[in-house]
Every structure is written in structure tokens, then in C-alpha cells.
């Protein structure tokens, strides 16, 4: 009975809860665009075939709009949300951990005065650290999510899919793509948090110390941070999606044997442009999702702090 009051009385407890609120907001805001991104990144089964609008599967002449129409026609709107249960349940915890660990790391390596915000260098270093740590949670979740997003058969739940992967591929299969996830997320999170902190200070000078910033500043800074991090890591994300989408077992030969092999085969078969396929959808999703994440996080944290001397600057427009 005493757990929650004591938990929320600590700064790390409030940061954890606020991060979870931000994670939920991000998943709900951008999941349909994430499904389109994952499908756009997959290899083309038959390069001579254009998009089949009747099946929702990709061909060589792929656009996000054409793919969306095909999915809606053949699978219905629910297909855009297939597999959302896994990230909605886990990313709430993962995002909570990310923001709490980031806050702890940025404070622990901060060499400035106690009442000064961390330097931009320390913000980036803390982002790199938290990006590497959170992959241990993220990798299995994204694996299950991607498998559900690319499947075209009957709908199954994330737990059923996770059991199926474990039974066929073992623990190694559950963590397929871990290396490329670390390579993607560690530097990308450094770019992510640095861009957010720099942009919010640029738009609203002094807000990093005072906490007095507008909702539009939160939305734009968070959205831009998401866009910058995705553009920075996108080729690795394409490779990660392809590695995790392939299912293997004792009798199944995998199409890609590793990161370098996936790069080589993807580029030789589909050209350099394949490494940027779906970027437009990813950037649109990143702006919406991360604007929602940072805004929800900041507002939830201020609510839990009882405003803590900080206030949200409300604008007439």
C-alpha cells in the first residue's frame, strides 16, 4: 500500500512513470506508419512485379500510399495495428527505463554546477549509453513486432509469436539482430537527446534551466529529435528489419547470415536506394511519435512534480 507514494516521492520514480506515459503516447500516435515502414523495408519477392493492390504486398514500384491502399483493401484497417500489443506493453516499461537511465547518466557525468543543466556533450554521451543498454529490452520486442507486421496469414498475438520463435530458433532466435540494434540505437540516441536539448534551448532560451517552455516547443523539439536520429541511423534500420524479419530453424537456411552479408546482398540486388527505402514514412512517423513522447513525458513529469516551480507556457495561438 505504501509503495506508490514512496516510489513517486523520489525523482527517479517520477522520471520512470513520466517516461512510461511518453512511451504509450508514442506507440499510439505512430503505429500505423511504423507498419508501413517495416513492410516497405522488406525485400521485393519478384522485382519484375509491381505492387499488387489486391494483396497489400510490395512489388518494384512501391509507394507508401499504394501499399496503404493495398493493405486496407486486402487485410483491413486492423492490419495496420497488428502486433501493437507487444510494443504497447513493453515500450511503456522500456521508455520509462530509457528516460530514467538517461536522467541518471546525464546527472552522474555532469561536470557543471549542481544547478546547471548537463552540457550538450554529456547529454550526447548519456544518450549513447542509454541507447546501448535499452537494446536488451528492445531487441526481442522489435523482433516479435516485425514478424507480426510482415506476416500475411491469420492474426496471432505477440505471446504466441514469441513462443513460436523460441520453439523454432531458441534464445538465439529471440535475440536475432541484437548487434545491429546496438549499432543503430547507441549513436542514434546520442543524436536524439542532443537534438532535443539543443533545439528546445534554441527555441526557448533558458528553458533547460527554468523549465519554462511552450507546448509547441516540446512538440517541435521532440519531433525534430526523432527525425534527426532516424535519418542518422536509417540504413542500419533497414538491415535490422531484414535480419529480424527472416525466420530460421534447424532445417531452414537464412537469406542473410549477418550485417555485412545483408548490406551486400541488399545493395547488389536492389541498388543503394534500398538503404533509404521507406525513409519518408519513417521521418513522418518520427516527427509525430517523438513530439508526442517528449510532450507527454515533460507534461507528466511536471504534473508528478506538482509543477516543481516549473510551468508550461501557454500560447494564445
| Model confidence pLDDT, tens digit, residues 160-182 | 999 999 998 899 999 999 999 99
pLDDT of residue 88: 76
pLDDT of residue 104: 84
- Tell me the pLDDT tens digit for each residue of 238-291: 999 999 998 776 556 888 989 999 999 999 999 999 999 889 888 998 999 999
pLDDT surpassing 90 at residue 227 = yes
Kindly report which listed range (82-86, 198-202, 262-266, 292-296) carries the lowest average pLDDT score. 82-86
In the chain, what are the domain boundaries?
3-32+83-313
- Tell me the pLDDT tens digit for each residue of 109-163: 877 676 788 889 999 999 999 999 999 988 998 999 899 888 876 778 888 999 9
pLDDT of residue 157: 83
Specify the CATH number of the domain 3-32+83-313: 1.50.40.10
Residue among 181, 168, 177, 183 nearest 245 (CA): 177
pLDDT of residue 41: 83
Please state, rounded to an integer, the average pLDDT across all residues of the chain.
82
pLDDT class of 30 with cuts at 50, 70, 90:
confident
State mean pLDDT over 82-103: 79
Quote the CA–CA distance of 188 and 48 in Å, as a whole number.
Answer: 35
- Tell me the pLDDT tens digit for each residue of 73-92: 888 888 888 878 767 777 77
State mean pLDDT over 209-232: 90
pLDDT of residue 53: 38
pLDDT surpassing 60 at residue 312 = no
Amino acid at each position: 500500500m505504501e509503495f506508490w507514494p514512496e516510489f513517486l516521492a523520489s525523482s527517479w520514480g517520477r522520471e520512470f512513470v513520466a517516461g512510461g506515459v511518453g512511451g504509450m503516447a508514442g506507440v499510439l500516435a505512430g503505429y500505423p506508419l511504423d507498419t508501413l515502414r517495416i513492410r516497405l523495408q522488406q525485400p521485393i519477392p519478384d522485382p519484375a512485379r509491381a505492387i499488387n493492390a489486391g494483396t497489400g504486398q510490395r512489388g518494384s514500384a512501391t509507394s507508401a500510399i499504394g501499399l496503404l491502399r493495398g493493405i486496407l483493401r486486402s487485410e483491413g484497417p486492423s492490419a495496420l495495428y497488428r502486433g501493437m500489443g507487444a510494443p504497447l506493453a513493453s515500450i511503456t516499461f522500456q521508455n520509462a527505463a530509457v528516460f530514467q537511465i538517461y536522467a541518471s547518466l546525464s546527472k552522474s557525468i555532469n561536470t557543471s554546477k549542481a544547478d546547471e543543466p548537463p552540457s550538450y556533450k554529456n547529454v550526447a554521451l548519456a544518450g549513447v549509453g542509454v541507447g546501448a543498454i535499452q537494446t536488451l529490452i528492445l531487441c526481442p520486442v522489435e523482433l516479435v513486432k516485425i514478424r507480426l507486421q510482415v506476416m500475411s496469414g491469420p492474426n496471432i498475438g505477440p505471446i504466441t509469436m514469441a513462443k513460436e520463435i523460441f520453439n523454432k530458433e531458441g534464445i538465439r532466435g529471440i535475440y536475432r539482430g541484437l548487434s545491429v540494434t546496438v549499432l543503430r540505437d547507441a549513436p542514434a540516441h546520442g543524436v536524439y537527446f542532443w537534438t532535443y536539448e539543443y533545439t528546445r534551448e534554441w527555441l526557448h532560451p533558458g528553458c533547460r534551466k527554468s523549465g519554462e517552455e511552450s507546448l509547441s516547443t516540446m512538440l517541435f523539439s521532440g519531433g525534430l529529435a526523432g527525425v534527426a536520429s532516424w535519418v542518422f541511423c536509417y540504413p542500419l534500420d533497414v538491415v535490422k528489419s531484414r535480419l529480424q524479419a527472416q525466420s530460421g530453424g534447424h532445417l531452414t537456411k537464412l537469406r542473410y547470415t549477418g550485417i555485412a552479408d545483408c548490406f551486400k546482398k541488399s545493395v547488389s540486388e536492389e541498388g543503394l536506394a534500398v538503404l533509404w527505402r521507406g525513409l519518408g514514412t519513417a521521418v513522418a512517423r518520427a516527427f509525430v511519435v517523438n513530439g508526442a513522447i517528449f510532450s507527454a513525458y515533460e507534461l507528466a513529469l511536471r504534473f508528478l512534480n506538482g509543477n516543481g516551480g516549473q510551468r508550461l507556457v501557454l500560447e494564445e495561438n
